[in-house]
Chain A
Amino acid sequence: MRKKTTRYGKTRAAGDCRAFRELASSAVDGEIHELEAYSLERHLRSCPCCREFRDFVLRTGLLVRQSPPPPLARRPVEGRVLARAAGGRDRSWWKSRRLLGVAAGSLAAGILLGSALGLRVGGEGVAAPAELPLPRVTAARTLDPSYVPYLSRPLAVAWDAGVIRPGTADEKRLFWVTPMSRYDEAHYRPERL
């Protein structure tokens, strides 16, 4: 069996066998026409190399399906949290911020401040300035996952370690570097920390 180099830089079976191996791959998935199946069967009877490939594909497919991922470390996101995201027009995040007295005195001022900071309210949410670095993590301890379930782990750890303090510039940066690149009350609930 000849080999050739592809654009992926890997050697691959050349000529007829290549076509039959591609067919064998589709056949394993049940994605093959009857006529193709017939000619494939004929080829497989006389070609141990392609038979081996077919068997390998069957075997590895089985192994892949049977490998469980590691168990979840956290509870999946809850319906009540998603419900708020689904509502979309619920601005309770802003309301709770106002109640906490951390945000600007009025929603209008809040939006004004938001736009000054490059935030957009509604629609696509907050665009993340790419150049902002991650907050520096100086200590780590376990964070109750129900508190900030949507932050990436370094951020959650940074928050937990007190590196990111509520009501500071660090906190604003936090929004911009979350994996969501946007935020709402659903994945940022400072009042619970």
Chain B
Amino acid sequence: MREPSADELRRAAAGDERMLDNLVRAYYGPVYNYLYRLVGDAGEAEDLAQEVFLRMARSVGGFGGRARFSTWLFQIARNAGIDHLRRREAERARLPAVLEPLRSSRDAVGEYEEAQLVWSCIGTLNEDLRSALLLRDLLGFSYREIAEILESTLATVKWRIYAAREQVQERYRAVTATEPGRAPGLPR
């Protein structure tokens, strides 16, 4: 992700439509992807992504380049995601991140099914671990950047990413071990 320059951010803060469009073009996809994997629902992730960019537009004037723009933006995205998960949990006491399969064809066994299984395992992680893992594996942020986004320490980030992977492997194994010979599928 290319970081916008200080001048570009000043223009965005001043309400330069083209600059704001550029920011949307550059960051909307990753923000939506992250939120989708965090909340597990595409429609909700879209609502949240729109909300994140409105919040960004409102406060980019006060951003002041203290951190990198991308880490600041994902901080907003993460907070919006967490608020949403809390709200949703309060509204209907259901598990967050029930991940839907992207397509239903049953014959495409292999990499696709494997990916789906991995995603369903990631979906069972608690939000702290899931966010850390998504920021790393999905978006490629460095540990230092993730620490900024999560407002946490480097050691905590390192531990969370490790713990997330350990739990994902554990759950992956639990499923594949109980279904020998079957390509790892998803609860449908």
Interface residues of A (CB under 8 A from B): 6, 8, 10-13, 21-22, 25-26, 29, 31, 53, 56-57, 60-61, 63-70, 72-74, 76-88, 149-153, 179-180, 186-187
Contacts and interface: CB of A to CB of B under 8 A. Distances in A.
B17 A83 contact: yes
Contacts of A21: 162, 166
A180 B58 CA distance: 12
Given A61-B137, A82-B17, 14 more contacts: A31-B142, A53-B169, A56-B165, A67-B115, A73-B42, A76-B53, A78-B24, A79-B22, A81-B54, A83-B16, A87-B15, A150-B54, A179-B48, A186-B54
Contact of A86 (B15, B18, B172): B15
B61 A88 contact: yes
Contacts of B20: 79, 82-83, 86
B158 A63 contact: no
Interface of B: 12-22, 24, 28, 32-33, 36-37, 42-51, 53-54, 56-58, 60-61, 84, 102, 111, 114-115, 118-119, 122, 126, 134, 136-138, 140, 142-143, 158-159, 161-163, 165-170, 172
A63 B169 CA distance: 14
Contact of B43 (A53, A79, A153): A153
Given A21-B162, A25-B161, A56 B24 contact: no
Dominant SS among interface residues on chain B: helix
B50 A76 contact: yes
A79 B17 contact: yes
Nearest to A52: B169
A150 B50 contact: yes
Contacts of B46: 72-74
Contacts of B22: 79
Contacts of A72: 32, 46
15 contacts: A12-B163, A29-B136, A56-B169, A61-B137, A63-B111, A69-B45, A70-B36, A70-B42, A83-B57, A85-B57, A150-B51, A151-B47, A152-B44, A179-B48, A187-B50
A84 B118 CA distance: 41
Nearest to A181: B83
A180 B165 CA distance: 33
A152 B49 CA distance: 11
A21 B166 CA distance: 8
A83 to B, nearest CB: 4
Contacts of A11: 170
Nearest to B102: A70
